[in-house]
Amino acid sequence: MPSHTKKRILVTGSNGLLGQKLVEQLAATPGIHTIATSKGQNRLPAFYGYEYYEMDITNRKQVEAVIKIAKPDVIIHTAAMTNVDQCEMEKEECWKLNVTAVEYLIEACQRHHVFFVHVSTDFIFDGTEGPYKEDDVPNPVSFYGWSKYAAEKLVSHSELQWAIARTVLVYGIAHDMSRSNIILWVKKSLEEETPIKVVTDQFRTPTLAEDLAMGCFLIADKKAQGIFNISGKDLLTPYEMAMATADFFDLDSTLISPTDASAFTQPARRPPRTGFDLKKSRNVLGYEPRTFREGIALLAQQAGYINK
């Protein structure tokens, strides 16, 4: 390939939160030709800087057809069923989206010699030993976790050049404000003077969607192979995240009361303590995420709240 040609990067799930952020970053990066794909119509606001194809990842023929036409050098696979409780209740649908679809993508990537970046999750771990390194042994406690671990196995045992980007509790602002997250929920509740209960017995390294997009781009750009932890740097409980949000927006934190996970009945089990060690991503990729407070500040700015 001549050096002056642009690197062609295809994103699956471009209508999702991570997909949106990735397309935005890639389209603004010189030397990258961005290809956005999602099921149904394009819901991204800007129609310049990238091309869009409809692609249902559970449709083998469509996956092959789009990859054949788009000719990507790299695919960043962000599309998945990520609602943990929904996966527990709708196992067949979850498997189809999170595992079978990955088989179709791998087949097409092998046929067309595409570098494959697969986005995975901390939920492949049982949460007894976190924060985790890349080579720690997975042991999922939910069907969602099992589906994502099965997909990782498919990727790592394929003939492809591949990378897996594992992440933790992604938050950010979608273009249409369609998705809430802990920051928006806490802010809204406290502004309405609604008391909230937040758990203190789960630990995560919450990840700003922009940081995850940057991590995926660094992997794609370097074609760095193997598994990489791409998350935030602060190990926090949801209670600490809620308190940090109240502090940032100067809201009444006495409305927030600590509780533990046993207070909530949810179909799927959650790993108590995950979070990631980022040494490898820092050293190999030069990945450096924002702090949680910096994440809140960016989110506040994007949502049009008055910034401190």
The enclosing domain of 36 has a CATH number of 3.40.50.720
Is the residue at 159 inside a domain? yes
Alpha helix (H) ranges present in the chain? 17-27, 60-70, 84-89, 91-95, 101-112, 143-156, 182-191, 209-222, 238-249, 279-285, 292-302
- Residue 137: in which H helix or E strand, if any? none
> How confident is the model at residue 4, as a pLDDT?
57
Q: Are 10 and 38 in contact (CB under 8 A)?
A: no
Q: Which amino acid is at 76?
A: I
> How confident is the model at residue 193, as a pLDDT?
98
Q: Which amino acid is at 142?
A: S
Q: How far apart are CA 289 and CA 163, in angstroms?
A: 19
3-state secondary structure of 34: strand
Q: How far apart are CA 45 and CA 86, in angstroms?
A: 28
Low-confidence ranges of the chain (pLDDT < 70): 1-4, 306-308
Is the residue at 240 inside a domain? no
Predicted TM-score (pTM) of this structure = 0.96
Q: Per residue in 142-186, pLDDT tens?
A: 999 999 999 999 999 999 999 999 999 999 998 877 778 999 999
Q: How many domains does the chain have?
A: 1
> How confident is the model at residue 1, as a pLDDT?
44
Is the residue at 102 inside a domain? yes
Is the residue at 178 inside a domain? no
Is the residue at 154 inside a domain? yes
> How confident is the model at residue 306, as a pLDDT?
59
Cβ neighbours, 10 Å, residue 26: 26
**Structural domain for 75, as ranges:** 7-173+205-234+274-290
Is the residue at 46 inside a domain? yes
Is the residue at 261 inside a domain? no
Is the residue at 248 inside a domain? no
Alpha helix (H) ranges present in 71-208? 84-89, 91-95, 101-112, 143-156, 182-191
